[in-house]
Amino acid sequence: MGELILCKRPIAATPYFIDELSLNIYSLEELSYYISHNVYLLNASFSNMDLCRWIGKELGMKELETELVHLIEENTPLHIFVGHILTACGYLTASEIKKLMEVITTFENKTEAECKKIRGDRLMEKQRLVDAIYEYENILDGELEMTKSLEGNVYHNLGTAYSRLFFFKEAATCFEKAYLANHNSGSLRSLLYAYLCGRDMDGFEHAVTRFQVAEADVATVKSAVEEVFHSREISDFSDTVNQMRVDYREPFAYMEQLTKVVDDWKKDYTRLCKI
């Protein structure tokens, strides 16, 4: 069931279209809702004349339009522009608006590449893995200036996103590029983990040799992966499947129950892949 938004102000006959999510906005309340739930997608292009004109013409809020236009002409920071919109609407509390403005402020003193990485990281935190992958790849495929360290960190996080979707081959490629750029031992360990989780022993051994990984570190990585493969969660699941064989002796009944388990996995995976 979707969420209802009580709109106390006029509803626009012509919506304001937001490219990032292919979303039509019909009211100031909807715009406030969009900002509060997608604050990490905002950038300098959000404060534009088209939005100001839409607020003035479609919502009939001429005074707010004038205020926002003046802010743009004065090159006012984005968090101030957004703050004026949220305050004029009244959809959010003062404390909620303050928190959002603080978040936006973190973007304003960083490079475009750094801002995009932060957005990708927040998408990862929200389990929007595919969106995060697109954000990271957009950074790496573009012509944005960045340090080697930042490049490596972006590759590392991209590899993490791929790993969570079980694309271990792609993850290994990203972790290798990350280590070559940032020389971070965490990226090297993740590279080895990706190979082992993907059952690619040739790739694992090649990486160990190429990067001269110490035997103790190799043993630690192998031990960690083995511990996961033989974890309590996996053994409990194995016991559950075996018990199902006992409880549902008829092959059809057993397969029906097993299919339900697999369907739940599919739902979880589909949720992670949601754009």
> What pLDDT is stored for residue 42 in this prediction?
84
> What pLDDT is stored for residue 35 in this prediction?
94
* pLDDT band per the 50, 70, 90 thresholds, residue 244: confident
pTM: 0.72
> What pLDDT is stored for residue 1 in this prediction?
35
* pLDDT band per the 50, 70, 90 thresholds, residue 249: confident
- What DSSP letter does each residue of the chain carry, written as one string? -PPP----SPPPSSPEEEGGGTEEE-SHHHHHHHHHH-GGG--GGGS-HHHHHHHHHTS--HHHHHHHHHHHHTT--HHHHHHHHHHHH-SS-HHHHHHHHHHHHHHHTS-HHHHHHHHHHHHHHTT-HHHHHHHHHHHHHS-----HHHHHHHHHHHHHHHHHTT-HHHHHHHHHHHHHHH--HHHHHHHHHHHHHTT-HHHHHHHHHHTT--HHHHHHHHHHHHHHHT-HHHHHHHHHHHHHHHH--SHHHHHHHHHHHHHHHHHHHHHHH--
Contacts of 211 (CB under 8 A, 6+ apart): 179, 188
Taking 50 as the threshold, does the pLDDT of residue 215 lie above it?
yes
Taking 90 as the threshold, does the pLDDT of residue 248 lie above it?
no
* Domain ranges within the chain, ordered by starting residue: 16-108, 112-229, 234-273
* pLDDT band per the 50, 70, 90 thresholds, residue 239: confident
> What pLDDT is stored for residue 3 in this prediction?
55
Contacts of 187 (CB under 8 A, 6+ apart): 152, 155, 156, 159, 175, 178, 179
Nearest Cα to Cα of residue 191 among 209, 133, 124: 209
> What pLDDT is stored for residue 110 in this prediction?
83
> What pLDDT is stored for residue 8 in this prediction?
63
- Percentage of the chain modeled with pLDDT above 90: 62
More confident residue, 119 or 193: 193
Question: Alpha carbon of 41 to those of 29, 71, 102, 116, 214: distances in Å?
Answer: 18, 21, 15, 9, 42
Taking 80 as the threshold, does the pLDDT of residue 58 lie above it?
yes
Arithmetic mean of pLDDT, 250-274? 84
Distance, CA of 17 to CA of 76 (rounded, Å) = 23
CA atoms 223, 224, 229, 230: torsion sign: positive
Taking 90 as the threshold, does the pLDDT of residue 232 lie above it?
no
Taking 50 as the threshold, does the pLDDT of residue 168 lie above it?
yes
Arithmetic mean of pLDDT, 200-228? 95
CA 82 to chain centre: 22
Taking 90 as the threshold, does the pLDDT of residue 83 lie above it?
yes
Q: Which fold has domain 112-229?
A: 1.25.40
